[in-house]
Amino acid sequence: MLKTEIEKALTVLKNGGVILYPTDTVWGLGCDATNAEAVEKINTIKKRQADKSFIVLLDNDSKLQSYINEVPEVAYDLIEYAEHPLTIIFSGAKNLAKNVINADGSVGIRIIKHDFVEQLLQRFRKPITSTSANISGEPTPQFFDDISEEIKESVDYIVDWEQNLRNNKKPSTIMKLSPSGQFSFIRK
């Protein structure tokens, strides 16, 4: 069943669509992070300002160099030793849709540790976006059942995996990492 769900989600992503999917944190809205039109669809679904940035998911830290000009060496240690999901905001984003990148040229990236998403990313071979499955400004849904019908009806595919899971997940820790290796927490 996992393989079937990956195939279905993969088809949607390749065709520029938006998926509603489980992650290592909360349920997310995802699309091809290199496809500006797909990213715009998520902004429309969430009714959010186009200048708000996205978190981008990768399956392996070896891929960071494809999307960041200079990866500070400390980033690899931070990722390896993080006990909870960690999103790092890096300067010098590249090879991503312009509407994924912050106005200052930075982007938040999380190396995912979640079976479904890791396999999806390995097959897709591109990063995908991750943003909470809610209308902008509304509370982040804790569980699949908390996601509004409006969101569910707006996506191209709802992944049929972990919908009944009741683990108490929360958004990732977010840290900003400068090219020199200095970091500060944005959200703990």
For 61-113, the DSSP string reads GGGGGGTBS---THHHHHHHH-SS-EEEEESSB-SS-TTTS-TTS-EEEEE--
**This prediction's pTM:** 0.95
Is there a contact between 46 and 135 (Cβ–Cβ < 8 Å)? yes
Asked if the model's pLDDT at residue 132 lies above 90, the reply is yes
> How distant is the alpha carbon of residue 156 from its chain centre?
17
pLDDT digits (tens, 9 = 90+) for 101-126: 999 999 999 999 999 999 999 999 99
| pLDDT mean over 132-140 | 94
> Domain limits of the chain?
2-187
CATH of domain 2-187: 3.90.870.10
pLDDT digits (tens, 9 = 90+) for 11-64: 999 999 999 999 999 999 999 999 999 999 999 999 998 888 899 999 999 999
